[in-house]
Amino acid sequence: MKILFIYPNIVESPKDISTGLAMLSAVCKKAGHETGLIDCTFGISDSKIIEFVKKFKPGLIAITTATNDFDYAVHISSLIKQNFKIPIIAGGFHPTISPEEAISKDCFDFICIGEGENALLELAHNLEKNKPLDKIKNLWIKKNKDNKQTIIRNTLMPLIQNLDSLPFPDREIFDYQKYLEWNHGTATFLTTRGCPFQCSYCINHFLTKLYKEMGKYVRFRSIDNLFSEIKQVIQKYRNDVKNIEFYDDTFTLDKKRIEEFCKRYPKEIGLSFNINARVNAVNPEIFKMLKQAGCVRVSIGIEAGDPFIRNEILKRNMTNKQIIDTFHSAKKAGLKTYAFNMVGIPFETQISINKTIELNKNCQPDYVGVSIFNAFKGTEIYKLCQEKGWLREGYSKSYFRNSNIKHPNFTTSQLRSIRNSFGFKVFIKSRPLRAIIDLIDRNLSQIDSYLFLRSKIIEKLNLLRK
């Protein structure tokens, strides 16, 4: 069967492939299916989408969707439905956390909740062989009988425990060289599935409950399996891959695994690499091992400098001292650091945001990233915002420019201004210069051309720090 995947990606930065779709394509190809892809990451017109579908002639269309691109996924799928009679299945984070909303859309015939590899294979096989679809686990299915539509809500199948049993993601379905060029030669990899932490703004809390007693939620690939994939990518794109980045939420969860990785990586791979770590899941010894293995930068979440916001609202469960010590340990080991931060968190005030800026100064990261808070369905904090009446209609398309909550203490424009000046206030030590920035913020934050210009200055400042 011909299966067409759609990636309705509208994220501004970073731009990267969907590892999930790449994995599904690999699984389908291994089973003998032919796959194609419509990738919206770099922009595509409606007419081009229709033209591609017409030319490829798929028997099944599978679209992945996160919350921020859900509306666009519905638009693309509706466009296809208006022109073709092809079954469409939606999967990804949003159908998993909000299945009733997803299945209510006329453009979707099926939705997949949770992992899609086995469910999609079974669906494709049964469609191809004209077999019943009703009992495929992980799928919700629309069924029409006697001019009446019903929805079959199947139960979940257990999580895939042996990640090494899966084929490597099919990067060839994407224009992968274009992604490497965009990311300055950085190839990205995932080495785990699942996260054990229960932050209130993340859907891992929801997923751990969803999969309770259905196998281990946090699962690791073996180092042999991981290195085989990396070598394969380097071999295929040997002139383009300059650096490796591991996208795991927390790369340092298993110390023994990290020890094996660090011992073998310089000999078997040898390229510089970057990771994500968590304050209370790493230590100075691990930082030293990572540095010796070739690690260049570690990204660590600060998120909020006010302990009440960070621990009571975001459920991060870490002290200021732990955060500062972790950044300083990384620096002492010779690693560059990147600090993740948010502004516009529920109950946040200008005073608490100032505390986030001050904590960043004390941590002395080499780079800072700042997003504007958005509440996602399936999270604890979404329920809180719902109860407080703070949710806006629809979904924000950018967590750098907009928020989906009506913050009682800030307008969206004010949050954009705070975000845009955040880096200046962390890195610039001159009090007069910081005072000028504050004055500009108070008086010119509504002027779009100014905001654009200032963001470009901040961009240049960060480049200079490299």
Strands (E), 256-403: 273-277, 295-303, 336-343, 367-372
Please, what is the angle between helix 255-268 and helix 223-236, to 10°? 30
Length of the chain: 466
Could you give the percent of the chain with pLDDT greater than 70? Answer: 92
**Amino acid letter for position 116:** G
Q: Model-level pTM?
A: 0.89
Average pLDDT score, the chain: 92
pLDDT at 52: 97
pLDDT at 151: 95
> Is residue 214 very low, low, confident or very high in pLDDT (cuts 50, 70, 90)?
confident
Q: Which strands make up the sheet holding 139-145, listed edge to edge?
A: 34-39, 2-7, 60-64, 88-91, 110-112, 139-145, 148-153
Cβ pair 221, 251 in contact under 8 A: no
> Is residue 451 very low, low, confident or very high in pLDDT (cuts 50, 70, 90)?
low
CA distance 401 to 414: 10
Q: Token pair for residue 65?
A: 């969707």
Domains assigned to the chain: 2-153 (3.40.50.280), 184-394 (3.20.20.70)
CA distance 35 to 32: 10
- Written as one string, the DSSP assignment of 93-132 is HHHHH-HHHHHTSTT-SEEE-S--HHHHHHHHHHHHTT--
Indicate if the pLDDT at residue 411 is higher than 50.
Answer: yes
Q: What 3-state DSSP class applies to 368?
A: strand
Q: What are phi and psi of 414, to 5 degrees?
A: -65, -40
Cβ pair 409, 349 in contact under 8 A: yes
Beta bridge partner(s), residue 369 = 340
